[in-house]
Amino acid sequence: MLQGERMDSTTGGESLRIIVTGGYGFIGSNLILALLERHPSWSIVNVDAVTYAADPANLASLEADPRYEFRQIDIVNRDAVRALVQEVRPDGIFHLAAESHVDNSIRGPEQFILTNVLGTFNLLEEARQAWGGDASKRFLHISTDEVYGSLGDAGAFTEESRYEPNSPYSASKAGSDHLVRAWHHTYGMNVVTTNCSNNYGPRQHREKLIPTVIATALAHRPIPVYGRGLNVRDWLYVADHCAALDLAFTNGRAGETYVVGGRNEWRNIDLVRMLCRLLDEEVGAGPDGGYESLITFVIDRPGHDARYAIDPSKIESELGWRGATSFEDGLRATVRWYAGTAH
């Protein structure tokens, strides 16, 4: 894969050795499973620090797969990153490892700066040293639309949107995005960056909104909704996101950014109500008045962005990506997954 060259991603293609950071996490575990299914000739090294948000059970099905191996490494540890890259000699890196929970970043921002900024620097620099200017090697950096701040009632984020992060989490991700851009423009490194909207689906940590709502409802406890639930998010099913990441890595243009969204905006309160309806249908045995009766409004968090929305026209037109999963279908599959693993 040469710099700027597109490689067919519809078959197994050439044999590549890939590092995926944060592979025990939500998006990372779904991505590893998708990549191994789509590219049978690839081998993948999952690099994860195994923090509270990691779940080795997410990839238990791969324990006997010779194409897969796991290394417990914290990317903040520069020496460990160097040893890993020099040993593995990867053809590509999918960089997902990050601290990602906004509330946690408000309570304790330091770890977000260490992991998201310093950790990204360590990976970039060790990859650059190992690859020595080889433009066939690619670094795919997976980031968030939160780096762009908050939208008003109209409009959508694009690749040209101004960076205006409003939380320690989004500021740390913005910093990592800028490092990746600089390593391309300064050193000619073959990088691609993606900024995605809110993901949902199986294997997500229960601190996030949708798993929190499902788990809380199933326990018949009050379902917390910030403010009046009027904040708007653009939701993207994780399998659709993984397909976009595969295309960005194999077919994307070096140095480019692609924003990835589901064209699927929902107010938080409407999303929670839909989840409650699906729980009524799929699980039943809810409280009197149904699961919706458990909704409880709580004090809004500081710096809570009002609305996110993404215009994914660039990745649609350049790479042929489309979100394939309807929101109700994706939510129903998500509810079934969590309900089946909650007992």
How far is it, in rounded angstroms, from Cα 325 to Cα 338? 18
Has 288 been annotated as catalytic? no
Measured between its terminal Cα atoms, the distance across the chain in Å is 46
Q: Is the dihedral of CA 234, 236, 241, 247 positive or negative?
A: negative
User: Is 160 designated active site?
Assistant: no
- The single residue of 146, 246, 292, 305 carrying the catalytic annotation is 146
**189 and 139 in contact (C-beta within 8 Å)?**
yes
Task: Give backbone dihedrals phi and psi of 70, rounded to 5 degrees, phi first.
Answer: -120, 140
Catalytic residue among 24, 68, 169, 338: 169
Residue-by-residue DSSP string for 9-52: -SS--S--EEEEETTTSHHHHHHHHHHHHH-TT-EEEEEE---T
Q: How far apart are CA 22 and CA 176, in angstroms?
A: 15
Alpha carbon distances (Å) from 137 to 96, 97, 166 = 17, 19, 33
- Which helix H or strand E contains 315, and what residues bound it? helix 313-319
Of the candidates 48, 91, 99, 145, the residue annotated as catalytic is 145
> What are the start-end ranges of the H helices in 100-142?
102-107, 110-112, 119-131
Active-site residue, 145 included? yes
Q: Evaluate whether 19 touches 92 at the Cβ level (below 8 Å).
A: yes
Q: Is 233 helix (H, G, I), strand (E, B) or coil?
A: strand
Residues that are catalytic: 145-146, 169
